[in-house]
Amino acid sequence: MKIPFIKAHGAGNDFVIIDKNVDIIRKSKKVIKNLCDRRFGIGCDQLILLKQLGQYHQVFFYNSDGSLGKNCGNGLRCAYKYLTEIKKKKKVVIKSQKFLHYGKKIGKEYHINVGEISLDWKKIPLSKKMETQNLQFKKIKIPGVIKIMTANIGNPHCVVLVKNIQSINLEVLGPQLVSHAYFPEQANITFVQKLNNKLVKVLFWERGGGHTLACGSGTCATAFVLHHNHYVSAKIKVLTEQSQLETEVENKMVSLKGPAEIVYHSTINLA
């Protein structure tokens, strides 16, 4: 069975987008993992499956290990571009696991509302009641750590503010934090350095995917908790490893603006 797909990326965070035979693909974790595999499949950070449901386009995000993700800011921008520019849809409302998402094109970039933030320890979730904006990892040494904060924007996130991001050994600290006992569902990890009130620099380690060049929901969670804790303005620029994203916090909602690129179209044979 041949399946058409799109390869896309947002700020280097890359995706395979499929809108055919979605229900068949969703039933097989093996197929999902194979599609994401960079050696034996197409290769991507996440698989995006799109399905028309009435007035909405239902989106399903799958990590490269086959696990289901609940939100993805960079993936939402790529999905919005695909639906509006490739499929020529005039009115697009994307429905994720928890939110409705509305997008627009601004110049050459794409803006989308990523979702509503929760700081409730039960909703993040954490394994027990604790101060979500001041976590302590007693047995893990993080160079130059200033503050550790958590939030949920569909996915659980842990944001580690440090003095110098270059001192972070991501390959060591990422796996230690992502599966820490505090996080019963694991958590996406962001290391962030504040450059000024409107500019920060980040590194990401995602649950189910490991090191990624960018993480849209992580960018939004980072912007929110930094603003909530009075480190940055409501509207900031975020320097990822290969690109730049912009976020804006309004009450508990966070929006994201950045690039979305269609790399190529092709088909793959699913056994």
From 72, 78, 158, 220, the catalytic residue? 72
**Confidence band (pLDDT; 50, 70, 90) for 268?**
very high
Residue 78 annotated to the active site:
no
| Structure-token pair, residue 158 | 């842990």
Question: Per residue in 149-195, pLDDT tens?
Answer: 999 999 999 999 999 999 999 999 999 999 999 999 999 999 999 99
Write the single-letter amino acid at 266.
S
Give the Cα separation of 4 and 14 in Å (integer).
17
Q: With bands split at pLDDT 50, 70 and 90, how would you rate the model's confidence at 270?
A: confident
* Per-residue tokens: 252: 């508990």
Give the pLDDT confidence score for residue 212 in this predicted structure: 97
First to last CA, the chain: 7
Domains and CATH numbers, the chain: 2-113 (3.10.310.10), 145-257 (3.10.310.10)
Q: What pLDDT sits at residue 100?
A: 98
Beta strands in the chain (DSSP E): 2-10, 13-18, 46-53, 56-63, 68-69, 93-95, 100-106, 109-116, 145-152, 156-162, 188-196, 199-206, 210-212, 235-239, 244-250, 253-258, 261-269
Residue-wise pLDDT tens digits, 37-77: 999 999 999 999 999 999 999 999 999 999 999 999 999 99
Quick: pLDDT tens for 85-127. 999 999 999 999 999 999 999 999 999 999 999 999 999 999 9
The predicted pLDDT at position 1 comes to 86
Closest CA to 197 of 225, 245, 232, 163: 232
User: Residue 158 catalytic?
Assistant: no
Rounded to the nearest integer, the mean pLDDT of the chain is 97
Is residue 271 predicted with pLDDT exceeding 80? Answer: no
Q: Which of 36, 44, 158, 215 is catalytic?
A: 215
